[in-house]
Amino acid sequence: MTSGTNLKKPMDWGTKNKMKYLPIDTDLFVQNRKRFVEQLQPNSIAVFNSNDIMPTSADGIHPFIQQTDLFCLSGIDQEESTLVICPDAKEEKHREILFLRETNEQIALWEGQKYTKDEATAVSGIKTVHWNHEFNTIFKTLVFQSEKIYLNTNEHLRADDSVETRDRRFLRWCRDTFPLHHYRRLAPIMHDLRIVKSPIEVDLIKKAAGITERAFRRLLSFIAPGVWEFEIEAEICHEFMKNRSRGPAFQTIIASGADSCILHYVKNNKQCREGDLVLMDFGAEYANYAGDVTRTVPVNGRFSKRQKAVYNAVLNVHKVAIQMLTPGQTFDESTREVGKVMETELIGLGLLDAGEVKKQSEDQPLYKKYFPHGTSHHLGLDVHDYGDRYRKFEPGMVLTCEPGIYIKDEAIGIRIENDILITEDGPVDLTESIPREADEIEDLMNQ
């Protein structure tokens, strides 16, 4: 799958791209900032901080992953970075500022080269770049010109805020230092800005999906009785990383046998057995954007009669559910309709009784025993990207579609997941070339 023509090289960056991914059109970040500024109140200043490099133990560290709001507005993919936006600053040069970690010979020796000021400008389109030691002086000047300070916190409904972030530390410092200013939340603005993807962003998600497809096709000739779940995971990682991905966009799920019924099984430590199914929920990261695909295949290359019946039931629901992802729909509305289709399939499989379904509670539908999760979530810079679940679907949103049936007593767990772009002309499946028909999967596994 090609990446599209929007992934062009920023002017003057040349061969100095330090990231695995190809340079991104700077216009993405310029336009994102323009849209962002339109939602700020007058006389405001907004601050975005990079993520920290997280420690392990001793002197170990986890790989750095950028704070996605900062990346969305600047394209800067480096630690200890800060973006300040002050649209009404008295001096034009102070209306957009990047603060970066200044490098030296010691840092270059141990960690490699960091952004120069010119490189940061080429990536972001921001002309004013300073080193971090200049932050306090410049920021104080701009704060005293402003009435409102916008700060960022993680307001994702499923966020774990037990670890203090750089944004959280900055919020505390800022309130202590400037207690009489009016404070505002950045999160609602960023949630609104990021929910609809630009054509450049769709191309990046398609690139992540294309890498994910390569990994899946690689697996179809690799999976066989006796392989271990972690060996499958290793094949996925190999294909991801050789195609300019940092690696998985989220923790990979390789669940065989009865564990295919565990929704977020990530141990990946069992041997795959003859007669088992293996459910694989995985997605490549590319340029910080996520792919997210689930496929379920027979370990021996052939579905049993019962496995194929359940698989095709999920596939039928999947196809119908995709067609429901149209402008004007909501998550709740599509979930109700998908639930009705799922009920019919479960009755056909002998798992639900039609009479009992007619008497069921609307708040506790019986299909939830076998399909306990939602059908869709937003996808973008985060795999569970920002999005108001009550907001109607709009062209430019990218959603997953992932129905499943999980029958614990039969050790059958099947989920099929694709990534869907909503358009005025109907849903566009960004992952449609990834095999999902049972017969096609069997044919490819037995070539």
Sheet strands (E) in 164-276: 182-185, 253-256
The DSSP result for 184-213, as a single string, is EESHHHHHHHHSS--HHHHHHHHHHHHHHH
Taking Cα atoms as reference points, which of 196, 170, 242, 142 lies closest to residue 32?
A: 196
Taking Cα atoms as reference points, which of 429, 447, 2, 439 lies closest to residue 214?
A: 2
Q: Is beta strand 412-415 parallel, antiparallel or unpaired with respect to 418-421?
A: unpaired
State both tokens at 431. Answer: 């992952």
Contacts 24+ apart (CB under 8 A), 171-177: 174/47, 174/149
Q: Which residues contact 360 (CB under 8 A, 6 or more apart)?
A: 366
- For Cα atoms 328, 331, 336, give the angle at the middle one, nearest 5 degrees: 105
Phi then psi for 165, rounded to 5 degrees? -95, 170
Q: Read off the DSSP letter of residue 271.
A: B
Find residue 277's DSSP bridge partners: 298
Show which residues are catalytic.
59, 264, 281, 292, 373, 377, 384, 402, 406, 415, 417
111 to 104, 106, 368: CA distances (angstroms): 10, 8, 50
Taking Cα atoms as reference points, which of 393, 399, 347 lies closest to residue 370?
A: 347
Task: Decide: helix, strand or coil at residue 71.
Answer: helix
Taking Cα atoms as reference points, which of 84, 83, 85 lies closest to residue 34?
A: 85
Q: Which residues contact 58 (CB under 8 A, 6 or more apart)?
A: none
Map 119-139 to HEC letters: HHHHHHCCCEEEEHHHHHHHH
Q: Which residue has the tokens 């792919």?
A: 291
Cα separation, 434 vs 293, whole angstroms: 9
192 to 36, 387, 391, 397: CA distances (angstroms): 9, 7, 10, 11
